Structure 1
Amino acid sequence: MQVSSQRTPTEIGWLPPLAGWDKMNVDGAANGSQGPAGAGDILRNAEGRWTGGFVCNLGSCSTILAELWGIYHGLGVAWQQGCRTLILETDSQMALQLIDKRTDPLHPHATLLAAIRRRIAQDWVVKLAHTYREGNRAADWLSKHSLVYPYGKYELTAPPQRIQHIIGDDCRGTTITRSIVRERLR
């Protein structure tokens, strides 16, 4: 048996959570390997309505560290908002893998990963999920927008005006075509 790979055009978009659940989309961004970095999160209910969010200017760090800080802060915002059934979605498979696997105590992000795991272990249900960037557009915008703020975390009571078209697209089920590699056994 051989495995073959082929690219398949696939429609990707944001999907609302089931009734009774909330969804937080998270993203981190850095300019360069250790450049100006930020994170952004958007929390929405099953109708796709904004219920919270934040931007965080992190100073300078790597993209993976920005993603992890976004997840950490996002879990805190969701908990404070009273969410007890949460889907946390990110476009970083690496961040999800780091959270899921046992981390060497000498890993450079071990302390932050342990803090994330403690937040997940609180008295609630948290499902971590991967999405592609096309399904994470609002969080992607917020993470990049975070760099216009001074250093620090800023909770947002309402979505910035310039992101409302993305939220509207998400609620309407707008998709973007992405070529995804699919493996098949032959």
Structure 2
Amino acid sequence: MWFECKCPSDNQALAVLWNLSLPHIAWGIWKERNNRVFRDLETPAFVVATTIHNAIKENFLHSYPSRKYDSPIPTLWEDSDTINRWQIDWNNANLVYKTNQCRQNVIWHPPPIGWIKINVEGAAKGNPGPAGCGRVAKNHFGLLVSMMALPLGTQTNHYTEASAAHFGLHMAKREGFTKVWLESVSINTVNCLSGRTDPSWIIASLIKDCRNIINELADFKILHIYREGNKVVDLLANLVVGYVATNWWSSRAAFPEKLWDLAHNVYYVNQ
């Protein structure tokens, strides 16, 4: 109902404006939120608003090209009636960021004695786009057993996260682990492997292979983890996006220094 009121049938250009506005505004605010939460970077509200406004304008002009030749008819972007009915005050845009939210520690915990905990994550620069995945295996002392990263070529986000779990379990079998605790940031992957949801056809073969490996293990557990507690694997996956060869680290000396230091930090997540 709200959208129908904002997009009257007598003005197709206005309907296009609103169709472009909602996703661009949501995406712009989401990016700014993530920059403030995860990177401690804050962009002034008017800059965020201007960036969103320019993106909408660019896409709008692509849908309605500018005036042709020397026609005196103005572009629809210059049509004051359409713009006035748009009713977004870009000059006074404001972003309210609540800093008094409840926060909890999100930290990696070692598995029980005799278990190996494997953290996995995928990264894709686009959907689809250049992708990679990483996995880190540690024992109950919290000591590094092995760390690997695998470039995946061009993949979707969905496929990349499932590939990360498949990669982690495949290497667990190869290394002879029998009690495996898997942690992934992908709720969808966790739900598929735990049997709560059925996988889509895109990842069905990966999930099936994962389940076959799980059935061969003496014991298995899978849980979702926030990305803040999986930061090392996140950076690891991003490290090999665009690479060709698989990267393997099995010792402290070979472990990338910045990732080793990061593995011992405490991370936070907004609740």
Length-normalised TM-score, structure 2? 0.57
Instruction: Say which one has the larger Rg.
Output: 2
**Identity across matched positions, percent:** 26
In the alignment, structure 1 residue 177 sits paired with structure 2 residue 268: yes
Aligned to 2:151: 57
Are the equivalent residues in 2 in contact too, given 1:14–1:134 (CA < 8 A)? no
Matches of 1:128 and 1:165, distance apart in 2 = 26
The offset of 1:75, in angstroms, is 0.7
The offset of 1:123, in angstroms, is 3.3
Aligned to 1:38: 132
Aligned to 1:183: none
In the alignment, structure 1 residue 98 sits paired with structure 2 residue 197: no
> Which of these residues, 145, 150, 155, is aligned with residue 248 of structure 2?
155
The offset of 1:10, in angstroms, is 1.2
Are the equivalent residues in 2 in contact too, given 1:55–1:155 (CA < 8 A)? yes
> Structure 1 residues 20 and 145 mapped into 2: Cα distance closer, same or farther (>3 Å)?
same
More strand, by proportion: 1
Are the equivalent residues in 2 in contact too, given 1:37–1:58 (CA < 8 A)? yes
Runs of 4+ in structure 1 deviating by more than 4 angstroms, as ranges, are none
Specify the code of the residue in structure 1 equivalent to 2:257: Q
Specify the code of the residue in structure 2 equivalent to 1:153: T
Specify the code of the residue in structure 2 equivalent to 1:138: V
Matches of 1:47 and 1:166, distance apart in 2 = 18
More helix, by proportion: 2
> Which of these residues, 160, 166, 184, is aligned with residue 262 of structure 2?
166
The offset of 1:156, in angstroms, is 2.7
Are the equivalent residues in 1 in contact too, given 2:132–2:242 (CA < 8 A)? no
> Which of these residues, 219, 235, 238, is aligned with residue 144 of structure 1?
238
The offset of 1:102, in angstroms, is 5.6
Matches of 1:102 and 1:16, distance apart in 2 = 27
Are the equivalent residues in 2 in contact too, given 1:22–1:86 (CA < 8 A)? yes
Q: Deviations over 1:124-179 (max 9, x none)?
A: 211011110111111111111112531x5333333223311023x1xxxx422211
Specify the code of the residue in structure 2 equivalent to 1:156: W
The offset of 1:82, in angstroms, is 2.1
Corresponding pairs, count:
167
Matches of 2:131 and 2:139, distance apart in 1 = 28
In the alignment, structure 1 residue 66 sits paired with structure 2 residue 66: no
The offset of 1:53, in angstroms, is 1.9
Matches of 2:202 and 2:189, distance apart in 1 = 13
| SS of aligned partner of 2:135 | strand
| SS of aligned partner of 2:240 | helix
Specify the code of the residue in structure 2 equivalent to 1:61: Q
> Which of these residues, 2, 9, 20, is aligned with residue 103 of structure 2?
9
Matches of 2:119 and 2:127, distance apart in 1 = 23
> Structure 1 residues 45 and 76 mapped into 2: Cα distance closer, same or farther (>3 Å)?
same
Are the equivalent residues in 1 in contact too, given 2:130–2:242 (CA < 8 A)? no
The runs of 5 or more residues in structure 1 that have no matched partner are 1-6, 181-186
The offset of 1:81, in angstroms, is 2.0
Matches of 1:148 and 1:40, distance apart in 2 = 13
